Amino acid sequence: MEFAELIKTPRVDNVVLHRPFYPAVEGTLCLTGHHLILSSRQDNTEELWLLHANIDAIDKRFVGPLGTIIIKCKDFRIIQLDIPGMEECLNIASSIEALSTLDSITLMYPFFYRPMFEVIEDGWHSFLPEQEFELYSSATSEWRLSYVNKEFAVCPSYPPIVIVPKSIDDEALRKVATFRHGGRFPVLSYYHKKNGMVIMRSGQPLTGTNGRRCKEDEKLINATLRAGKRGYIIDTRSLNVAQQARAKGGGFEQEAHYPQWRRIHKSIERYHILQESLIKLVEACNDQTHNMDRWLGKLEASNWLTHIKEILTTACLAAQCIDREGASILIHGTEGTDSTLQVTSLAQIILEPRSRTIRGFEALIEREWLQAGHPFQQRCAQSAYCNSKQKWESPVFLLFLDCVWQILRQFPCSFEFNENFLIMLFEHAYASQFGTFLGNNESERCKLKLQQKTMSLWSWVNRPSELSKFTNPLFEANNLVIWPSVAPQSLQLWEGIFLRWNRSSKYLDEAYEEMVNIIEYNKELQAKVNVLRRQLAELETEDGMQESP
C-alpha cells in the first residue's frame, strides 16, 4: 500500500492553527505519510509537526464555507485547524483518520525514521539480561540464566533468557509453564542484596475447579525460601475475582500445597475500568467552567488517585515483606503482564537506589515492562479521546509513571531523573519515532526485526545533550529504602501530564511562580531586618559599656 492512496488532499493554503499557549497562526498545511505539518512564513513562528500516530480522535465542524477540524492527541493536547473550503476540510479529515489508524506496524514511522544525530550507543544492547544477571551473580550463586525459552516456545510473552533458581532444571520449567497462565512460570524479578530476599513474578496458577496441582511449581517457588522462612504470595486480584477465575481454568495457590506461603489479596483494577477512569479524568481537566466544587467532584469521580493509592499501597506492602519482614515474595494477578509489573517495578524503586538513577530506571523499564511482556501495542493503541474502545486498551504504564512521579515529588533529592523524563516516556509509549515500545512482547519484536530496522529510544535519550534535559539538579545519591506516603493528602494530580495543555494550569503556574518570588523577597527582607537588629543590638551594647563607668 502506498501512503499517497490515503492522502486525498496533500496540501491546503490559508489554514489557521489554534493550539494551547500559542497565538493563532495562518499557514500552509501539508500531509505526509506520517506527519501533519503546518508551516507559516511569519517570523519567529514555530512549525507544527504532529505524528499521525499521536492522533487519538478528530471532530469536524462547518460554518458556511469554512471547515474546522478538532484534533485530539494521545498526549491530551487539543489542536484546532480552520480550513477554507468544505471539500478540502473533508478530504483532510478523511486522510488524517486513515493515516492515524494504520493496521500494519511495519507502516509506522519508526520503520521510516532516519536519525539526524550521531549514534554513540546502541540502545538495543544497553540492557541485556546477561548484563543484569552479572549484578546479582556477585552477591549470590543460587540463581542461573535459563535459555529454555530461546525460541519463545515455552512462553511467547517472556524473553529468550530468564533468571531462575539454580536447583530447578529446564525440564521442570517446561512442566511449570503448563501450569501457569500463558506459560508465565515464576522468574526472578529482583534480588535484595541486603538480606538475600527476592521478588518473583508469574501468571496465575491453572488450578481450576478441581484444585489441580503441580509439584514442580511448588518446588520452584519453595527453592527461593531460606530454611525455616515463610514467603508471601501477593495476588493483585480480590479474593472474589481470584475465586471466579477458577471457573475459567485459572485460580490461586492452595494453602495445602503451599504451606510455607501466606497468600495476600490486594485488588488492583485493570482494563476498561482504568480506561474509563482516564477518560473521566481528562474530561475533568478540560472542564473550562472554572467551578472548583464541580471540578473537584469530577476529579474524585474519576477514581484516578484511588487507583494510584491502590498500586502504591501494594508496592509498599511488597517492599515491606522484603526489607522489614525478611521474606521472599511471588507476585501475580491473572496474566502477570499489567498490575503485576506495576507492583514489581514500584517495589524496586522503593528498595533499590539504582532504580532511581537514569540508567537504572531505563534498565527497569526494559526488564520489567518490555522484556517482561507488557503488551504496549494493545494497551497504548488509543488514549482518552477515541470513541471506538477495544477491551485491551488501558493506561497501565501511565499509571505506573504517575506512581513514580508521586514518589519523586515526596523524595525530590533521591532521583537522578526529573519529571520531564517521565513525561517523555509517556509520550513515546503512545507515539514515537523509535521502535522501543512497538509490539506486545519480545517474540513480536523479534519477528518485526526492530533491532535491525528501527532506532532504540535509549540511543537518543542517553546522549549527553539530551540527558541534561532529564537530569535532576537536586539529586543526591540515597542508598536507603524510601517509604512513600499513600495518605490521600500526600497524593496529588500530576499537573505536568494532565494540566499542561490547559490554560488554567498556566495561570496556576504563573501564580505559583509569583508566590515563590514573593516568598523569596520576604526572606530577603527578613534577612536584612535580622542584620539591622543585630547591628542595633551591638550599638546598644557599646553604648551601655560606654555609660557604665
Which of 503, 522, 543 terminates a domain? The answer is 503
pLDDT band at 2 (very low <50, low <70, confident <90, very high): confident
pLDDT band at 375 (very low <50, low <70, confident <90, very high): very high
| Cell reading at 130 | 546477561
Note whether residue 317 is domain-resident. yes
Measured between alpha carbons, how far is 335 from 235 in angstroms, rounded to an integer? 11
Q: Which helix (H) or strand (E) holds 249?
A: none
Note whether residue 30 is domain-resident. yes
Measured between alpha carbons, how far is 477 from 416 in angstroms, rounded to an integer? 8
Angle (CA) 278-267-364 rounded to 5° is 70
Range of the domain at 518: 509-534
* Same-domain pairing of 291 and 325: yes
Which of 102, 123, 144 terminates a domain? The answer is 102
* Same-domain pairing of 421 and 494: yes
* Same-domain pairing of 364 and 387: yes
pLDDT band at 512 (very low <50, low <70, confident <90, very high): very low
Identify the residue whose cell numbers are 511569519: 42
Strand ranges for 179-237 from DSSP E: 187-191, 198-201, 231-235
Note whether residue 131 is domain-resident. no
* Same-domain pairing of 93 and 204: no
Percentage of the residues of the chain whose pLDDT score is greater than 90: 83
* Same-domain pairing of 225 and 367: yes
Measured between alpha carbons, how far is 493 from 296 in angstroms, rounded to an integer? 11
Q: Which residue, among 436, 442, 434, 429, has the nearest Cα to 379 in the 3D structure?
A: 429
Which of 71, 87, 102 terminates a domain? The answer is 102
Measured between alpha carbons, how far is 189 from 343 in angstroms, rounded to an integer? 11
* Residue 15, CA distances (Å) to 29, 37, 100, 112 in order: 6, 11, 20, 27
pLDDT in tens, 181-232: 999 999 999 999 999 999 999 999 999 999 999 999 999 999 999 988 999 9
Residues in the chain: 549
Number of other residues whose CB lies within 10 A of the CB of residue 539: 10
Query: Residue 548: its pLDDT value, please?
Result: 46
Lowest mean pLDDT across 287-291, 305-309, 433-437: 287-291
Report the number of distinct structural domains present in the chain.
3
* Same-domain pairing of 394 and 341: yes
* Same-domain pairing of 268 and 226: yes
* Same-domain pairing of 327 and 445: yes
pLDDT band at 291 (very low <50, low <70, confident <90, very high): confident
pLDDT band at 529 (very low <50, low <70, confident <90, very high): low
Note whether residue 408 is domain-resident. yes
* Same-domain pairing of 248 and 200: yes
Measured between alpha carbons, how far is 437 from 420 in angstroms, rounded to an integer? 18
- Pairing type for strands 329-332 and 198-201 reads parallel
* Same-domain pairing of 491 and 514: no
Averaged confidence pLDDT in the chain:
92
Measured between alpha carbons, how far is 250 from 203 in angstroms, rounded to an integer? 9
Q: Which residue has the higher pLDDT, 391 or 455?
A: 455
Note whether residue 431 is domain-resident. yes
Measured between alpha carbons, how far is 352 from 356 in angstroms, rounded to an integer? 7
Note whether residue 161 is domain-resident. no
* Same-domain pairing of 516 and 494: no
pLDDT band at 521 (very low <50, low <70, confident <90, very high): low
CATH number of the structural domain spanning residue 8: 2.30.29.30
Note whether residue 270 is domain-resident. yes
Number of other residues whose CB lies within 10 A of the CB of residue 134: 10
* Same-domain pairing of 423 and 517: no
